[in-house]
Chain A
Amino acid sequence: EAGVTQFPSHSVIEKGQTVTLRCDPISGHDNLYWYRRVMGKEIKFLLHFVKESKQDESGMPNNRFLAERTGGTYSTLKVQPAELEDSGVYFCASSQMRADTQYFGPGTRLTVL
């Protein structure tokens, strides 16, 4: 079974630019989560999808972040415009049911210069 995949693995952009991160969950997993780890801090929850619906986006830092999951398959997380404090590793995770194990992707390391 293929695991959660994320693209790109690394992204280096300048402040003010736009970046879009992509996550492909495990096939059949309705639940998809985005998390972020800023250097030296804990992994923090950003938002949760069930199929194509956002269930909770309380962890999204501000309106520069937009997540979508059209069709209930892969998800994208867009940061526009990027700021220096957005640098970190963005993880995606998926689970079949809400109470199930969350399987993580390898993350996208975002560096904003």
Chain B
Amino acid sequence: GENVEQHPSTLSVQEGDSAVIKCTYSDSASNYFPWYKQELGKRPQLIIDIRSNVGEKKDQRIAVTLNKTAKHFSLHITETQPEDSAVYFCAAREGYALNFGKGTSLLVTP
């Protein structure tokens, strides 16, 4: 089955800096890659996603890039703010079930 690796497991940045989280996947048939943000005590929420026919997608301070050949995708957050502090999960989907990475705990310090 699909195996998703996510790095780093923890990331600490200063407010205003950029943060990058990287994921790799194993199943070349995967065609949909969402990113979820989970704040403490809250539900995972979709923040951005990308499909396999697109190489990059942006939404304000958040961007995701996909390299299908290398089977990796990354989340980029620019101008980080304290409210970006959360656990971020990447996922890959081939059929309908999402296969998640282990998560990255991002801390943005003022």
A41: which of B34, B45, B102 is its contact (CB, 8 Å)? Answer: B102
The stretch that binds B, out of A13-21, A67-75, A78-86, A99-107, is A99-107
Q: How far, in whole Å, are A105 and B44 apart by their CA atoms in the complex?
A: 8
Contacts of A59 in B (CB 8 A): 97
Are A104 and B44 touching (Cβ within 8 A)?
A: yes
A24 to chain B, nearest CB (A): 13
Are A105 and B49 touching (Cβ within 8 A)?
A: no
Q: How far, in whole Å, are A59 and B22 apart by their CA atoms in the complex?
A: 25
Known: A98-B95, A103-B46, A104-B45. 9 other contacts (CB 8 A): A40-B102, A41-B102, A42-B4, A43-B44, A43-B89, A99-B32, A99-B96, A104-B36, A106-B43
Question: Any chain B CB within 8 A of the CB of A28?
Answer: no
Chain A to chain B contacts (Cβ below 8 Å), 29 pairs: A4-B43, A33-B96, A33-B97, A35-B98, A35-B100, A40-B102, A42-B4, A42-B100, A42-B101, A43-B100, A45-B97, A45-B99, A48-B96, A48-B97, A56-B95, A56-B96, A59-B97, A91-B44, A99-B96, A101-B46, A101-B49, A102-B46, A102-B98, A103-B46, A104-B36, A104-B43, A104-B44, A105-B43, A107-B43
Question: Any chain B CB within 8 A of the CB of A53?
Answer: no
Q: How far, in whole Å, are A41 and B45 apart by their CA atoms in the complex?
A: 18
Interface of B is mostly: strand
Q: What 1/0 flags go to B31-53 for Cβ under 8 Å of A?
A: 01010100000111110010000
Please count how many residues in chain A sit with their CB below 8 Å of the partner chain's CB atoms: 26
Contacts of B4 in A (CB 8 A): 42
A37 to chain B, nearest CB (A): 8
A2 to chain B, nearest CB (A): 13
Q: How far, in whole Å, are A93 and B101 apart by their CA atoms in the complex?
A: 17
Which residues in window 1-57 of B have CB below 8 A to A? 4, 32, 34, 36, 42-46, 49
